[in-house]
Structure 1
Amino acid sequence: MTTATRTGRHPSTLATLWRSTIGKKAVMAVTGLVMLLYLVAHMLGNLKVFFGPEDINGYAAWLRTIGQPFLGHAWFLWIARLALLASVVLHGVSAYQLSRRDLAARPSTYAHKRRRASYATRTMRWGGVILALFIVWHILDLTTLTVNPAAEEGHPYQNIVASFGNWYSCLVYVVAMLAVGLHVRHGFWSAAQTLGANNARRDRALKLTADGLALVLTAGFLSVPVAVMTGVVK
């Protein structure tokens, strides 16, 4: 028997999917993969700092011209930002709602067992909180340039050097990137399971891929503040 809404209409397929546990897990998996692709592209863009100011500043200017003349100046960037924001929100809401369902479904007498067995879950949860806070800081630091001590509009190389010239900015970034690595490692494997990509023959390869992605992303992102702190980039 189907259930109708208060207005007498049956819920749509998307609404039904969203309300289901498997639907929320699928949303988490897909949005997680979207964010992973963004992280890979973002890391590769960041590494241009090692080729000097002209290279990375030119790259930043080029990003604002993608899609022209069909798109206006910087329209592509804003479309990408909105898509990324939607992915972050859907990912976070799905994670929170699944966590609440998990807590509600488990008897309190087994709480001590759940705490011992859910290291990955706790890591993902707190890692997500850390990353959400970091995103706000990162936008204020290198996008809006609100908290950057020596910001220069249109000069990302100089802004990166100015930001990582401060120990507290480096500390925030290092903690966040370690959280990124753990989040990617656990999240990639969980997404593979949700999307049905894993099986007995592929499990080892998927786990190695998750470890490799986490290691490469963490090392790639951390190489920039380390280079600034050690004077390699100045």
Structure 2
Amino acid sequence: MASTSAPPRPATARRTTIALKILMAGTGLVFVGYVLLHMYGNLKALAGEESFNTYAEHLRTIGEPMLPYGGLLWVIRVVLLLSLVGHAYAAFTLWARAGTARRTRYAAGKAALRTAWMRWGGVFLLLFVVWHLLHFTILKVSPNTAAQGPDVENNPYRLVVASFQVPWMTLLYVLAMVALALHLAHGVFSAMQTLGWTSTPAAYRRAKWLGNGSAVVIAGGFLLPPLAILFGLIK
């Protein structure tokens, strides 16, 4: 008589772990696409107030009249929120499982440092995203808004300039971009590895190159406007 017993628990755990890694890889790639586009938009600040504010307004009118004013932005926000929830859930679940599975700490080395960085760097980025949304989207506040006029909250360009004229705010942003660069460098490679796109030596090298390249391009692009503002190149 054939056995009807349930499959071994380790096999189920492995399948669940793979599913979580795929979820984290997929949602991570969604974020890569978003930060790349967001970085491009931020660079409009280098072209001046009219260019940046026109871009900011255009984001709210894309899709009209098929979509209401700001409709596409809300679609993007919902997709990003769902991706964030999925990414964080997968990351923290895998983190908890790894801690339960091992009885001793990782030995010192690059792998241990990389793992610790991806975890705690990810937590720092999550906290930064909350601050970033409060700063530029929800509350629109800056300790230097008075320097740019009373209506600065309604002028995206002036709000950005006022914010990054404050050294400690620029420093916080720089630290966040360093964290983002390190997260991207390893995260993009890991996502491609999880999805099976590193099966050959050439593909492995390409994944490494894409991880490092995306980190440099995206983090570097994000840093140009705030540093230009801090050093008085943008006023």
TM-score over 0.5 for the pair: yes
Structure-2 change in CA distance of 1:154 and 1:147 (3 Å): closer
Structure-1 residue corresponding to 2:156: 156
Report deviation, 1:30. 0.4
Structure-2 change in CA distance of 1:162 and 1:103 (3 Å): same
Structure-2 change in CA distance of 1:112 and 1:31 (3 Å): closer
Residue 222 in structure 1 maps to residue 219 in structure 2? no
AA matched with 2:105: A
Report deviation, 1:114. 7.0
Alignment of 1:169-188 (within 5 A): 169-188=169-188
Query: Residues of 1 paired with 2:97 and 2:108: CA distance?
Result: 14
Report deviation, 1:115. 7.4
RMSD: 2.1
After TM superposition, the score normalised by the length of structure 2 is 0.87
Contact kept? 1:131, 1:179, Cα under 8 Å: yes
**SS of 2:205 mapped into structure 1:** helix
Alignment of 1:16-35 (within 5 A): 20-35=16-31
Alignment of 1:78-93 (within 5 A): 78-93=74-89
Query: Residues of 2 paired with 1:201 and 1:171: CA distance?
Result: 38
Residue 77 in structure 1 maps to residue 73 in structure 2? yes
After TM superposition, the score normalised by the length of structure 1 is 0.88
Aligned length: 220
**SS of 2:196 mapped into structure 1:** coil
Residue 232 in structure 1 maps to residue 226 in structure 2? no
Structure-2 change in CA distance of 1:2 and 1:31 (3 Å): farther
Out of 98, 103, 117, the residue aligned to residue 99 of structure 2 is 103
**CA offsets, 1:76-112, max 9 Å, x none?**
1011011111111110110000011111112x2x325
Structure-2 residue corresponding to 1:126: 120
Query: Residues of 1 paired with 2:41 and 2:58: CA distance?
Result: 11
Contact kept? 2:140, 2:153, Cα under 8 Å: no
Query: Residues of 2 paired with 1:154 and 1:70: CA distance?
Result: 26
**SS of 2:68 mapped into structure 1:** coil
Query: Residues of 1 paired with 2:76 and 2:110: CA distance?
Result: 39
Q: Which consecutive residues of structure 1, in runs of 5 or more, have no partner in the other structure?
A: 4-15
Query: Residues of 1 paired with 2:87 and 2:94: CA distance?
Result: 11
